[in-house]
Amino acid sequence: MSRQSDPIYPEYAELRAEADRRASWCVDPADINFRIPDLVAARGYDWAYAVLGRPYGGPQSLYGSDIELLKLAGERDLDPSLPQHVVEARAAAEAHSIAGQEAAAARRRLLDEEWQAIVAALAARQNPVLVKVAHNYTSGRHCESGYVQGGDHIVFETRLLASAGRLRREPGQSACYQPSRARNVEVLVEVDDDRLPTCKSCIRTVARVVGLGAATMLGEPPAGARGYAANRRVRGW
């Protein structure tokens, strides 16, 4: 058998030699079904990893000598440490996860700030405009096996008249509303959580009305960014 990495603890060589001697070509079903699962459940997957020197994938993944090795380690009450490379990899993964969570939290703060600025600017107009976030339940697939599709739209609660009357939205209409696509946004239900709008057309429309930027909500690259993503924004692709 080819092993990924031999564990490093003083008793390993002796235990492996004894396990190889005790191993049989015919594995005892009781080891597979009861003894090994119970042993690993009592001591933990990390213990089995440390004893074997590789991830424990269940009793069915073990060779006879591996089963005997685990049984011997349990009989002698050994508690070896995980290989150092595993400890370091887990620490790196944890640090990466924390960094990702912090980045997500920072992005959420930016999204909240942009959205609250837009809401406040709409409410501060000469004719205050109130908006809410509503999910688009128009598609019938919402009723099939719990599948949900559709974006979260900005819906007006009061009438909007902007750009010398050229942009007009009635209460209950989304910011992205167009007569030609009215049937695609027929069922808009207000959300009861802290979701933010995801419809890019809605966000662009209200941001243009109040004259504010919404780069984070639109997923646009930061100012000065170069490359394909920036070119798409500049060329209007």
Q: Is 92 exposed, middle or buried (0-12, 13-18, 19+ CB in 10 A)?
A: exposed
Predicted local confidence at residue 184, as pLDDT: 87
Amino acid at 103: A
Comparing CA positions, the residue from 64, 210, 66, 68 lying closest to residue 127 is: 210
Reported as type and span, the H/E element at residue 189 is strand 188-190
Query: Which SS3 state, helix, strand or coil, does residue 135 take?
Result: strand
pLDDT at 15 over 80: yes
Q: How far apart are CA 50 and CA 6, in angstroms?
A: 10
Write down the pTM of the prediction. Answer: 0.68
Supply the pLDDT for residue 213.
86
pLDDT of residue 85: 87
Question: Quick one: pLDDT at residue 137?
Answer: 85
| 94-98, 136-140, 198-202, 216-220: least confidently modelled range | 136-140
The pLDDT assigned to 225 comes to: 53
**Is the sign of the CA dihedral 90, 94, 100, 101 positive or negative?**
positive
pLDDT: which is higher, 170 or 231: 170
Count CB-CB contacts under 10 A for residue 24.
10
The neighbour count for residue 137, using CB atoms within 10 Å, is 16
Tens digit of pLDDT for each residue in 145-167? 555 677 899 999 999 987 656 78
10 Å CB burial of residue 155 (0-12, 13-18, 19+) is buried
Confidence grade of residue 237 (pLDDT, cut at 50, 70, 90): very low
Give the C-alpha separation, 140 to 199, whole Å: 19
* Residues shown for the chain: 237
Distance CA 25, CA 22 (A): 10
Count of other CB atoms within 10 angstroms of residue 152:
17
Percent of the chain with pLDDT over 70: 85
What totals of helices (H) and strands (E) does the chain contain, helices first? 9, 5
pLDDT tens digit sequence for 63-112: 999 999 999 999 999 999 998 888 999 999 999 999 999 999 999 999 99
The residue among 25, 15, 26, 8 whose CA lies nearest residue 71 is 15
Q: What are the structure tokens assigned to 200, written together?
A: 């890019």
What is the DSSP secondary-structure string of 95-134? HHHHHHHHHHHHHHHHHHHHHHHHHHHHHTSSS---EEEE
